Amino acid sequence: MGYPITRLRRLRKNERLRRITAETKVSVDDFIYPLFVCPGKGVKNEINAMPDVFQMSIDNIVEECKIVYELGIPGIILFGIPEKKDSLGSEGYSDKGIIQRAVSQIKKEVPELIIITDVCLCEYTDHGHCGVIVNNDVDNDQTLELLAKMAVSHSKAGADIVAPSDMMDGRVKKIRTALDECGFNQIPILSYSVKYASAFYGPFREAAESVPKFGDRKSYQMDPPNSDEAMREIALDIEEGADIVMIKPALAYLDIIRRAKEKFNIPIAAYNVSGEYSMIKAGARMGWIDENNIIIEVLTSIKRAGADIIITYFAKKAVELLTKF
């Protein structure tokens, strides 16, 4: 039945009508908040390209986690800036590493907050790549051994979920096997299954001090034109034992999120990455866009595309805004 019987504007007339007919609602339950932990005491360094995002020492991270918990945000994802870097990223899988110490401290003080740890070597290697370098490229199978060690040591420290973000082939299976052998068969794997070689990670690399010293990550991260390949990555990760799969970045890849949601019956996470955050912050600072409305619109689009979990630097701000909406 068409116009004039059907008038779609009837249900748009006022705010309450729009509220009861809204198909998608982002909520605090959707969010994971990323945090960067660094050595020292009392440290709180703002990231140049990410206003309101900080590198924090463990004492400050714990205080931040209390705030996040009070806001009702279900969990955090933790990235570490180590004391020392070396060619094999050994602080990444040392039981005394920055992440391991931070995780056990947070667990002590905010036990219910979900702690997800990023399992990747790029923050810990002196060359800034995500694995072991052999002949100027990252060696897949040697890297798997170290990733498995890292996932086990994060779990020992008290991590609730481990999230491999290296894009090596076979890492989910390797990590699942190692976790199970060490008595961690209840620790889920959130796999960064579809991680594109994206320019949107620029500000994160400043935050995590993980810019590659040579070359780029294109020999292991996915090529942006590819969508079929993304489905193959997800299918393989599910087969290898992933519990949650992630698509990253979010905004330039909403089509991939939608396709994944339609094809697979597994929780889908999307990472609203650093560059997506910085663009909005920059536009708002220039006075060119309305930050608060854009935050809610963008997060809604990621959920509408099919994401069940949204990792976002806007999590705290969004919770504040949602109570007003």
Q: What residue number has its CB nearest to ligand PBG? A: 204
Residues that bind ligand PBG (CB under 6 A): 118, 120, 122, 130, 165, 201, 204-205, 210, 273-274
Smallest gap, in angstroms, from Cβ of residue 166 to ligand PBG? Answer: 6
CB of 14 to ligand PBG, least distance (A): 38
Strand-strand pairing, 161-164 and 114-119: parallel
Is residue 248 annotated as part of the catalytic site, yes or no?
A: yes
The residue annotated as part of the active site, out of 85, 173, 174, 248, is 248
CB of 274 to ligand PBG, least distance (A): 3
> Is 195 known to be catalytic?
yes
The whole-angstrom distance between residue 189's C-alpha and the CA centroid of its chain comes to 13
- Angle, helices 140-157 vs 98-109, to 10°: value is 30
Q: What is the DSSP letter of 93?
A: G
Q: How near is the Cβ of 110 to ligand PBG at its closest, in Å?
A: 22
Paired tokens of 87: 């060619």
Cite the beta strand spans of the chain per DSSP E: 31-37, 44-47, 50-56, 75-80, 114-119, 132-134, 137-139, 161-164, 190-195, 244-248, 268-272, 309-312
User: What is the chain's Cα-based Rg?
Assistant: 20
CB nearer to ligand PBG: give 11 or 117. Answer: 117
Partners of 31 in beta bridges: 310
Catalytic residue, from 195, 261, 263, 281: name it. 195
130 vs 190 by CB, closer to ligand PBG: 130
Nearer to ligand PBG, 32 or 273 (CB): 273
Nearer to ligand PBG, 59 or 142 (CB): 142
First to last CA, the chain: 33
Nearer to ligand PBG, 120 or 146 (CB): 120
* 8 Å CB contact between 29 and 53: no
Q: Which amino acid is at 316?
A: K
Angle of CA points 244, 248, 249, to nearest 5°: 150
The catalytic site residues sit at: 195, 248
